[in-house]
Chains A and B, each alone.
Chain A
Amino acid sequence: MIPELGHFALIVALLLALTQATLPLIGAQRGNLTLMAVARPAAQGQFVFVAIAFGCLAWSFLHNDFSVENVARNSFSQLPEIYRFTATWGSHEGSMLLWALILAFWTTAVSVFSRHLPDDMVARVIGIMGLVSTGFLAFLLTTSNPFLRLLGDAMPADGRDMNPLLQDPGMVIHPPMLYMGYVGFSVAFAFAIAALLSGRLDAAWARWSRPWTTVAWAFLSAGIALGSWWAYYELGWGGWWFWDPTENASFMPWLAGTALIHSLAVTEKRGAFKAWTVLLALTAFSLSLLGTFLVRSGVLSSVHAFATDPARGAFILGFLAVVIGGSLALFAWRAPKMLTGGRFNWFSREALLLSNNVVLLAALGTVLLGTLYPLLIDALGMGKISVGPPYFNAVFVPVIAPALFLMGIGPLARWKEASLPDMVARLKWALAISLATGLLLPLTLKGFNAWASLGFSLSVWIALTVLIGFRERLKNGGRLAALPRAFWGMQLAHFGMALGVAGITLVANYQTERDVRMNVGDHAGLAGYTFTFRGTTDHVGPNYRAARGTIEVSEGEKPGGKKLFVLHPEKRIYNASGMAMTEAAIDPNFFRDVYVALGEPLNDQATTWVVRIFHKPFINWLWIGALFLAVGGFLAASDRRYRIAVQATAPSNAAAQGA
């Protein structure tokens, strides 16, 4: 009964989405207030019904209703309760339902926090989001219904279990965070389309969409970082980024979103780059949709890809063609109406932000090319190839480096026209210190290394320019706490980048690892530690059996040093699927991770194992940096001037409508 209720709720949601996608748009075009007024209740109703559908699916998972095919395929009676809940979005169907739920959530948020906007703008924005929602709900109902039943003999006694890789605390929050980001760009997209439709592309439009975009970007940053953290400790390979198509699918919207939030700043403050900003808003969400297509359709093989089904792929591709093709055609049609305002000099904050944008898009291009290249070559019948980390590392790093350099100058440059000699005077010490650190620091570590030099210089450069930014703001008195949140947010995010770049540079250039064959009692030395293997014991988990290793770590690379800590890496066999999983054991701290994973047992008594040991300097800076990005984003989006804008524009709108 409950699954049918969910199915029914989903159908009602689709009907509401159709209403939301048609009436308000027609109303906005004709100036009919009654039709426009449908937007808010339709959006909120749609959210309620998608939430009911989602709740019904979650209920089926929590109650082990294996007559539901999706539950039977992706859950298991012995699965701990929290994973039975997260299994709701662990499958293809469930994750698409989560997508639809979050889209409905964002639409509802727009409907609530848009009291100060003109009615036709709100109607258009909500209508466009309704169009996107219609597409996703129709996709769910026609090709990916999560509520299909297995009746009679087809109903299995127990489920096939959730993919063990996903049975992890990281997976509890990673997908919702990532989708909040992905789908959040739909708001900026809808604002851009609404502006194109109405022909009102002014600074107000940029101010309205800015906080939404920043919040979505902050969620996406956090989501990507969580995914990377999960891959790091769960896959047992010690890597934190694999340039896998699925990772790239989330990284490309992030790059476009990063360009967008900076471009929106210029459009809001100076009225410049209007067409460019609109195009970026379309691009960011288009890349989110493209990512969904790439992951869901199976056109690219990936370690993460779930179900692959050509019918689904064809549906999403058709949907992509309509949404992205339609919006780009609208853009091409309306572009001549967008007058560029705000003149600026070649050396000014506008020019620097524009250069930064171009660099970010070039970097995005390299990732897109690398991700799609195997598909392009295959489609042209020129053979099968795969593009891996060597390409991405060699091409992406040099392309993104100038963006990191410009990041230091942009916030300090004046709008319209900055003076080069003045900038040199303000920044010469920062430049000298960062270059010196870049040159000297690698020498004190393991000898000169050009990549490490570049990374250190850029990291120190960004950190110092952030400090200069604060000092200059406080030069004429004033308190730190009195600085606007937008300023704090930007500086925190930039400082997060400095931390991240430092972490990446250190871990990429100075990590050490060993694969050793260890008998009980054997020692292995690495990076100032000795690892002593004390054998494995059998361990029974809720839905798996495990061999749990005990590895003592002591000081010094020779045995006999002071005992520091004990690690327990596991090799698990999951009961339902028979899949083997490696659970790495990590001793983290602010300066390094000590990471141990069990490989294969080399004899039947399981007394000899291949043990993989890593020493990862400063890897946690990477995730701390990402945390700064997210916090910075949220802080900037909560800036006072957006709240003031709400109060200031509300009466004038009312007056305009009254007239």
Chain B
Amino acid sequence: MKRWLPLIIFAVLVGFFAKGLFLNPREVPSPFIGKAAPAFTLPMVGQADKTFSPADMKGKVWLLNVWAPWCVSCRQEHGVLMALAQSQPVPIVGLNWKDKAREAEQLLAQAGSPYLAVPDDLSGKTGIDYGVTGTPETYVIDKAGIVRMKHVGPIDEKVWKEKFEPKLKELN
């Protein structure tokens, strides 16, 4: 029996590894799921005289997409977001996070904006309130202003179909 022990321990480990391959260690559950989205009032990119606040979206299911002009993976998901903005299943608000070089306006003018509004979080404080760990991150917020889901990393078509669509269906 004793001589089989190393093999048995190893077999158990392999089981765990196999399971681990299908888990994402970067995906940290947000403590805000099921809680009210933190309030903020921020000026909007390109329209500095206007402000945006989550309270403006009461009664709608919407997405808060945290992005930045310097973020490469945000450009990856930009195409998917643009397509969504066309078919309009849900309004998307793009929180422009820590954009020190002030490039957001120019970039959106060039590449097109999928966003209903672009609040400008220059200091990054709103991002901290939401527990943003990196860009892009997307929050699904329901009609009552409660965070229902958080997605870390770029949205592609597969993620949209498998993760967002069922959630949005449930909330609408």
Contact = CB atoms under 8 A, between A and B. Distances in A.
Contacts of B3: 275, 331-332, 335-336
B139 to A, nearest CB: 18
A275 B18 CA distance: 29
B23 A325 contact: no
Given A374-B25, A578-B70, A299 B11 contact: no
Interface string B14-55: 101111111101111100000000000000000000000000
Interface stretch (A376-384, A391-399, A484-492): A376-384
B6 A375 contact: no
Interface in A281-327: 282-283, 286, 293, 297-301, 310, 313-314, 317, 320-321, 324-325
Contacts of A335: 3
A386 to B, nearest CB: 9
Nearest to B25: A301
Contact of A299 (B4, B10, B23): B23
Given A300-B25, A317-B14, A325-B14, A378 B7 contact: no
Nearest to B9: A328
B112 to A, nearest CB: 21
B32 to A, nearest CB: 15
Contacts of A321: 14
Interface of B: 3-4, 6-7, 10-11, 13-14, 16-23, 25-29, 70
22 contacts: A275-B3, A279-B6, A297-B17, A297-B21, A298-B25, A299-B20, A299-B21, A299-B23, A299-B25, A301-B25, A310-B21, A313-B21, A328-B6, A328-B7, A332-B3, A332-B6, A375-B17, A375-B20, A375-B23, A379-B23, A384-B25, A384-B27
Contacts of B13: 372
Nearest to A384: B28
A320 B25 contact: no
Contact of B7 (A310, A332, A336, A375): A332
B2 to A, nearest CB: 8
Q: Which of the listed residues A293, A299, A301 has the most CB atoms from chain B within 10 Å of its own CB?
A: A299
A384 B30 CA distance: 11
Contacts of A483: none
Q: How many A residues are at the interface, by size bracket? A: 20 to 34
B143 to A, nearest CB: 29
Contacts of A420: none
Contacts, number: 68
A423 interface: no
A154 to B, nearest CB: 15
A329 interface: yes
Contacts of B16: 372, 375-376, 379
B24 to A, nearest CB: 8
Contacts of A314: 21
Would you list the 6 A-B pairs with minimal beta carbon distance, nearest first?
A335-B3, A301-B25, A299-B20, A328-B7, A379-B19, A332-B3
B21 A317 contact: yes
Contacts of A336: 3
Contacts of A375: 16-17, 20, 23, 25
A362 to B, nearest CB: 15
Contacts of A301: 25-26
A111 B99 CA distance: 59
Interface string A258-289: 00000000000000000100010011001000
A335 B4 CA distance: 9
Contacts of A293: 17
Nearest to A160: B72
Nearest to B6: A328
B53 to A, nearest CB: 28
A325 B10 contact: yes
Given A379-B16, A384-B29, A578-B70, A329 B7 contact: yes
A313 B16 CA distance: 13
Given A301-B26, A329-B7, 6 more contacts: A279-B6, A298-B25, A313-B21, A331-B7, A332-B7, A378-B23
A262 to B, nearest CB: 19
A282 B10 CA distance: 12
Contacts of B27: 384
Contacts of A279: 6
Interface string A358-393: 000000000000001011101100001000000000
